[in-house]
């Protein structure tokens, strides 16, 4: 999803004037002492693909199971430790097992101490922010997740808006480049949304950032998986561009950390060659993504797909077809598949009638390992309300019982 309504300071993250951040370091090394304690639960097994049920996950060493999760991209971009503790406690007490969190936050100019950013990019390279509003916020996320027994997916980079098929509530084309992402690389080093995947300098800096995060947190049982990008697209490209990039980058991540899972983070588009669907937008390969081909990459442990029919000009009942199609491909490959984001329609407190049938499809008609609604939101934080958009499911709001609590419990109870 495109995290359309950000924290109040997020707009500053896309400034393009190059300058070094006062708290940033250009070195490839990182402080040996984290700002918060993590990697403290050495007895807790890492999440993995189940050996006996290869389409499911072994969450914590107790065997294969189904479960639900959520997206809380903004957890790494809040400055209050107490707020973070509230958020993760609320997610955990809902029995949601996995939270997807942005591990990226790149800028081209320093936005100041009240905004979180992890990396400053300019023509001279990458500067990592180790000040209180930088990498320590990711330290806090991993530490708090360990403390409450929550697992997290950490994503390395955001995509840029590359076509007209975006949610109707995102009229500003800059918004999908939230928190820097590929756009900030292109501002620093040149290139565009399609050349980024093969641009030597951008890929070198991207790999260096991956190395920093993976080496810093690979000892933690809180990491559910590493994710290459949020909704990667290469509009108009041959699907080999993203396939080759995902192959190389996932191999690189595995060379750094062979113990944790890796996934792509794509929306699950099909290509014409797959023989799935009617050849319309989601099935034509126009965004340069081939879900079937990508699921065959050996160093990607599981596949993901997203679901926003209103954004893609499909009716809402088509969502269950989309779910079944991806589950069928997962069965063919004998790999876990996750409905990683879903939302609709984009209007507050008006999601239950549409999303409950999707959840029933996951529960009753498929063996999808997990689904993760977009997105979790809460109130009562020191800043007021959390990051949100029109798809947000609010903690203990009118829709929360059915879409979060009840669904999470049903997924856990589903027979393996």
As annotated, the active-site residues are 231, 341
Round to whole Å and give the CA distance between 26 and 253: 21
Round to whole Å and give the CA distance between 282 and 56: 26
Residue 58 CB neighbours (<10 A): 18
Strands 57-58 and 223-227: unpaired
The three-state secondary structure class of 379 is coil
- For the record, the structure tokens of 158 come out as 């955001």
DSSP sequence for 84-108: HHHHHHHHHHTT--EEEEE---EES
For the chain, state the CA radius of gyration.
20
Note the Cα 83 to chain centre separation in Å.
Answer: 21
Round to whole Å and give the CA distance between 282 and 271: 8
Cβ–Cβ < 8 Å for 257, 47: no
Cβ–Cβ < 8 Å for 330, 337: yes
Round to whole Å and give the CA distance between 29 and 194: 30
Round to whole Å and give the CA distance between 155 and 198: 19
Round to whole Å and give the CA distance between 5 and 146: 28
For residue 194, give every residue at least 6 positions away whose Cβ sits within 8 Å of its Cβ, in sequence order, or none: 162, 234, 235, 236, 237, 241, 288
Residue 219's Cβ-count burial label (10 Å; 0-12, 13-18, 19+) is middle
DSSP sequence for 57-72: EESSSS-EE-EEEEE-
Which residue, among 373, 361, 364, 377, has the nearest Cα to 408 in the 3D structure? 373
Round to whole Å and give the CA distance between 70 and 374: 6
For residue 251, give every residue at least 6 positions away whose Cβ sits within 8 Å of its Cβ, in sequence order, or none: 299
């Amino acid at each position: 999803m495109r995290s359309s309504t950000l924290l109040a300071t997020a707009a500053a993250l896309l400034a393009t004037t190059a300058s070094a951040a006062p708290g940033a370091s250009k070195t490839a090394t990182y402080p040996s002492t984290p700002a918060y304690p993590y990697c403290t639960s050495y007895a807790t097994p890492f999440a993995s693909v189940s050996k006996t049920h290869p389409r499911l996950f072994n969450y914590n060493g107790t065997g294969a199971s189904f479960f639900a999760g959520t997206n809380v991209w903004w957890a790494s971009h809040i400055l209050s430790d107490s707020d973070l503790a509230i958020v993760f406690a609320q997610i955990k007490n809902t029995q949601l097992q996995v939270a997807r969190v942005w591990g990226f936050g790149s800028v081209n100019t320093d936005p100041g101490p009240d905004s979180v950013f992890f990396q400053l990019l300019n023509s001279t390279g990458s500067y990592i922010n180790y000040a209180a509003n930088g990498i320590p916020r990711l330290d806090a996320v991993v530490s708090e997740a360990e403390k409450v027994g929550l697992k997290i997916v950490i994503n390395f980079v955001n995509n840029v808006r590359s076509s007209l098929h975006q949610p109707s509530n995102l009229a500003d084309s800059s918004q999908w480049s939230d928190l820097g992402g590929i756009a900030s690389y292109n501002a620093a080093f040149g290139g565009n949304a399609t050349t980024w995947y093969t641009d030597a300098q951008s890929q070198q800096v991207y790999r260096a950032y991956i190395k920093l995060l993976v080496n810093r947190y690979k000892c933690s049982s809180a990491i559910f998986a590493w994710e290459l990008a949020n909704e990667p697209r290469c509009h108009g490209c041959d699907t080999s561009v993203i396939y080759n990039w995902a192959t190389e980058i996932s191999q690189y991540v595995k060379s750094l950390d062979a113990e944790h899972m890796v996934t792509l983070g794509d929306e699950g588009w099909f290509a014409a060659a797959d023989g799935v669907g009617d050849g319309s937008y989601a099935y034509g390969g126009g965004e340069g993504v081939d879900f079937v081909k990508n699921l065959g990459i050996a160093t990607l442990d599981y596949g993901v797909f997203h679901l926003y029919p209103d954004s893609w000009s499909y009716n809402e009942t088509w969502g269950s077809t989309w779910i079944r199609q991806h589950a069928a491909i997962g069965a063919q490959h004998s790999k876990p598949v996750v409905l990683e984001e879903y939302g609709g329609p984009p209007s507050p407190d008006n999601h239950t009638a549409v999303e409950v049938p999707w959840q029933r499809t996951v529960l009753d008609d498929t063996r999808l390992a997990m689904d993760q609604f977009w997105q979790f939101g809460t109130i009562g934080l020191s800043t007021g309300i959390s990051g949100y958009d029109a798809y947000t499911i609010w903690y203990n709001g009118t829709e929360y019982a059915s879409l979060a609590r009840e669904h999470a419990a049903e997924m856990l109870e589903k027979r393996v």
